[in-house]
């Protein structure tokens, strides 16, 4: 039996869903974060369970050929990116393996043949939305990432994934916060002001900044943000979000616009979308275009169809579909996102779309039981996937054609299994790499009614 603190030598055999490497020590499974198949490692055990243990790399003894460095070994070394130690081509291979593995274990579907595997051209600095927790270290205001499974913040100089301009503005803000001795929020005591920094950037390079605080906006904070607005011409919108709650969720209920525009715009397929601070928008714009194009191509004969865009966010997919479809119904539960979508439709003269600000659980059931004829549905749920009752409703109403975009292969496989056991067939499965340097993987599937 392995003990905490024990150091062992281990060979890594595979990467499992979630991104950790797996090796065996005397037939006992040991999971090792930041490891790569074919690594021979010196590992220190940090936790043990009945059937497996977890260990951290102390030293790379023999580096896998897929590894980018044998000196940089920790999560912090790779700026909080759990796949950045693997060369990019292999990241894609491991993502394919993870999806296959999950489909085999959960959906009991073997021999997956991917329809498309779309990797990214821009593999660094691709994020258009950034949220960093704020902390305090050695007399300075810092921001960055939480260390793994902890709430201790670590700061990196030039964050891998976010735009360089945002790094610069965050550095400026933090130096001004330090200079003016603004207080930093302390989770345990629920005291202090500065909680998080958030930025959104569009393809035109325009930036929306949101400073998330506990308490009230002070004169000093307002002055710093006014100076930031004047100094950086590409900052077109500055909000302060008030979050007085004890919660891990960053944004508060009250978002106060201090300077500039209420929303930031992003152009996709000729439509100018409106995005507020609280609305969901895909974080990698280049890959989003490819994802949407692929997902939409999975519908046969869009013309004359009535299509539901379920979990629609700011209405992107629905509005792109509405160019060709007869009618579209977009269902989204976040009010600001639905409002952004309505504004976008009006401004872009799109009239064959209806926005339903409701949960999919309620809104889809009502719609499927109304007089509207629904031909197809596209789902793009959060990580937890689609609830069982909504899937059952889809099955009961014999909806022929379902496209499902998912950021979590395990809930996707679970939902596909439910549909397959109710008369549907998994027709196509693709992956689009929306998140280079991380183990996250985005899948798109086409599911059709059998014998339809």
Binding residues (CB under 6 A) for ligand SAM: these are 280-282, 311-313, 316-317, 331-334, 337, 359-361, 380-382
Q: How near is the Cβ of 288 to ligand SAM at its closest, in Å?
A: 7
Joined tokens for residue 194: 């500065």
Least Å distance between CB 380 and ligand SAM? Answer: 4
Using the minimum distance from each CB to ligand SAM, give the nearer residue, 30 or 130: 130
Strand locations in 124-253, DSSP E? 129-137, 140-143, 145-146, 153-154, 194-201, 207-213, 235-242
- Contacts of residue 313, Cβ cutoff 8 Å, sequence gap at least 6: 279, 280, 281, 332, 334, 337, 341, 380
Q: Which is nearer to ligand SAM, 123 or 334 (CB)?
A: 334
Length of the chain measured in residues = 452
Using CA atoms of 258, 260, 261, 262 in order, give the dihedral in degrees to the nearest 10: 10
Is 407 assigned a catalytic role? Answer: yes
Q: Let me know: does 352 contact 322? Beta carbons within 8 Å.
A: yes
> What is the smallest separation between the CB atom of 412 and ligand SAM, expressed in angstroms?
12
Residue closer to ligand SAM (CB basis): 123 or 333: 333
User: What is the token pair recorded at 416?
Assistant: 């596909």
- Taking the complex as a whole, how short is the minimal distance between the CB of residue 13 and ligand SAM, in angstroms? 32
Q: Count CB neighbours of 106 within 10 A.
A: 18
Q: Supply the minimum distance, in Å, between the C-beta of residue 406 and ligand SAM.
A: 9
Report in angstroms the alpha-carbon separations of 441 from 93, 103, 281: 11, 13, 17
Which one of the listed residues 81, 271, 407, 416 is annotated catalytic? 407
Angstrom distance (rounded) from CA 161 to CA 123: 8
Cβ atoms of 219 and 249 within 8 Å: the answer is no
Phi/psi for 296 (5° steps) reads -70, -35
Comparing CB distances to ligand SAM, the nearer of 340 and 375 is 340
How many CA atoms, within 13 angstroms, populate the side-chain half-sphere of residue 319? 27
Nearer to ligand SAM, 285 or 317 (CB): 317
Q: Which residues are catalytic?
A: 407
């Amino acid at each position: 039996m392995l003990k905490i603190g024990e150091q062992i030598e281990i060979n890594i055999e595979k990467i499992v869903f979630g991104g950790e490497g797996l090796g065996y020590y005397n037939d006992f499974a040991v999971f090792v974060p930041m490891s790569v198949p074919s690594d021979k490692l010196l590992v220190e055990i940090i936790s043990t369970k009945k059937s497996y243990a977890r260990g951290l790399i102390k030293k790379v003894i023999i580096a896998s050929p897929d590894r980018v460095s044998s000196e940089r070994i920790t999560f912090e070394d790779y700026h909080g990116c759990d796949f950045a130690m693997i060369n990019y081509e292999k990241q894609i291979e491991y993502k394919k393996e993870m999806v296959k593995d999950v489909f085999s274990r959960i959906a009991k579907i073997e021999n997956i043949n991917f329809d498309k595997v779309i990797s990214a051209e821009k593999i660094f600095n691709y994020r258009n939305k950034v949220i960093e927790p704020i902390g305090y270290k050695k007399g300075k205001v810092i921001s960055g990432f939480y260390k793994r499974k902890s709430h201790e913040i670590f700061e990196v100089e030039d964050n891998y994934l976010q735009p360089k301009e945002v790094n610069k503005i965050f550095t400026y803000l933090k130096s001004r916060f330090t200079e003016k001795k603004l207080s930093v929020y302390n989770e345990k005591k629920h005291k202090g002001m500065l909680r998080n920094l958030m930025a959104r950037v569009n393809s035109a390079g325009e930036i929306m900044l949101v400073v998330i605080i506990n308490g009230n906006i002070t004169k000093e904070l307002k002055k710093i943000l006014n100076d930031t607005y004047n100094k950086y011409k590409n900052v077109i919108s500055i909000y302060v979000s008030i979050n007085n709650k004890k919660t891990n969720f960053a944004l508060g209920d009250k978002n106060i616009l201090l300077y500039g525009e209420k929303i930031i715009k992003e152009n996709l397929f000729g439509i100018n979308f409106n995005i507020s601070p609280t609305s969901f928008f895909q974080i990698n714009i280049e890959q989003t275009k490819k994802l949407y194009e692929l997902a939409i191509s999975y519908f046969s004969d869009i013309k004359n169809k009535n299509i539901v865009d379920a979990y629609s966010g700011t209405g992107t997919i629905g509005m792109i579909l509405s160019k060709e479809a007869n009618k579209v119904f977009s269902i989204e539960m976040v009010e600001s996102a639905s409002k952004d979508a309505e504004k976008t439709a009006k401004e872009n003269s799109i009239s064959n779309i209806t926005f339903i600000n409701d949960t999919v659980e309620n809104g889809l059931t009502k719609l499927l039981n109304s007089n509207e004829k629904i031909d197809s549905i596209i789902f793009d749920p959060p990580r937890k996937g689609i609830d069982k009752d909504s899937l059952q409703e889809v099955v009961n109403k014999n909806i022929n054609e379902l496209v499902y975009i998912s950021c979590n292969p395990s809930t996707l496989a679970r939902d596909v299994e439910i549909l397959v056991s109710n008369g549907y067939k998994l027709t196509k499965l693709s992956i689009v790499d929306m998140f280079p340097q991380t183990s996250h993987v985005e899948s798109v599937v086409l599911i059709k009614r059998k014998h339809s």
